[in-house]
Amino acid sequence: MIQYVNDLSVADNLRETMRIYDSAFPFSAIELNAVEYVNKCAKWHWHDFVEFCYVVSGEVECCTPKGSFSLRPGEGYFINANALHLIRMAAGASDATYRVLQFETNILCGAGAVAGRFVSPIEQCGEVPALKLGKRDPDERALLEDLACLYRIAEEEPGPYELRILHCVTDIWLNLYTLMKPKLGNSVPLQDTAASRVKDMLACIHERYSGPLCVADIAAAANISRREAYRSFQEVLGTTPSLYVLRYRINCGARMLLETSRNITEISIACGFASPSYFCKAFHDLTGLSPRDFRRVNRRA
């Protein structure tokens, strides 16, 4: 079964939950178009399952604390478990349609030897939060072809459905292991302190954005100083805590404009702005539109 979504199912701690219709078989196939996301972006988040993707049309940008890369039609990515990441439509693109396959690796681990030798080394490889998959390398191309096959199985649901899914997932993991094996030999599991701190601080922002919130409050969520909070944000996200808060509040305001009938004053208060005028100015600075024009242009009938 294919799911078509236009938002993330994310808890306050930024953890994405998998959209599945069979809890006994943790696998999900999704088609998305970044144009339908507020600001054309799936905000920073993480999940404890793995994720693969291939791009159908347009251009997608995948960002992690260790860097970013763009993807065009026929290319894809692998996102490791617990890796903080952001997916958005690339600058200058007019479309970004992509298909995402997610699964918990325990469906591969019927035997302990499989988990110990072929799954855990990849999941614990802190050096590779994400991996770009291109069309030129034969191993990467084979993996992308398997992803397309997996999506077709999810779409058509031929019997026996779960066995066909499992067979294809196993092929995908074998190709992934082949690609990553050179990186695993000397890899030591890394504890990315900055990324871990940023997760805690982002969770604080997402929980408390509607009220007064200063950098000291944000830093306290990770038990660090204001200076260290600025350093961690810059290292991981390339921005400051204050600017992230502002953009997050604007994103929340944009969603309220599209999904509710609240007036602009009510929305500005709900998003933590001291005044409607400041909300309108900040909204225009970041989106190029006034809140009223944004609602008129983008709201679905």
E strands present in the chain: 2-4, 27-33, 41-45, 50-58, 60-64, 67-71, 76-79, 85-89, 96-103, 130-133
DSSP string covering 134-175, please? -SSSHHHHHHHHHHHHHHHHHHH--SSHHHHHHHHHHHHHHH
Identity at 68, one-letter amino acid code? S
Q: What is the pLDDT of residue 301?
A: 43
Quote the tokens at residue 246.
């502002």
Quote the tokens at residue 9.
């199912």
3-state secondary structure of 1: coil
Per-residue pLDDT of the chain (301 residues; tens, 9 = 90+): 788 776 777 776 788 888 876 778 899 999 999 888 877 888 888 998 999 999 999 999 999 888 899 999 999 999 999 888 999 999 889 999 999 999 999 888 765 678 888 888 888 887 788 999 999 999 999 999 999 999 999 999 888 989 999 999 999 999 999 999 888 865 545 456 788 889 899 989 988 999 999 999 999 999 999 999 999 998 888 889 999 999 999 989 988 998 899 999 999 999 999 999 999 999 999 888 899 998 888 765 4
Cα-Cα end-to-end distance for the chain: 27
Q: Can you list the domains of the chain with their CATH numbers?
A: 2-184 (2.60.120.280), 193-298 (1.10.10.60)
Task: Quote the CA–CA distance of 261 and 5 in Å, as a whole number.
Answer: 22
Is 147:76 a contact under the CB 8 Å cutoff? yes
Quote the tokens at residue 128.
């590779």
Cα 300 vs. chain centroid, distance in angstroms?
A: 24
- For 240-243, which contacts have Cβ atoms below 8 Å and span 24 or more sequence positions? 241/201, 241/205, 241/215, 242/215
Neighbours of 90 (CB within 10 A): 17
Quote the tokens at residue 122.
């990849």
Q: What is the pLDDT of residue 71?
A: 96
pTM of the model: 0.80
| Phi, psi (rounded to 5 degrees) for 173 | -65, -35
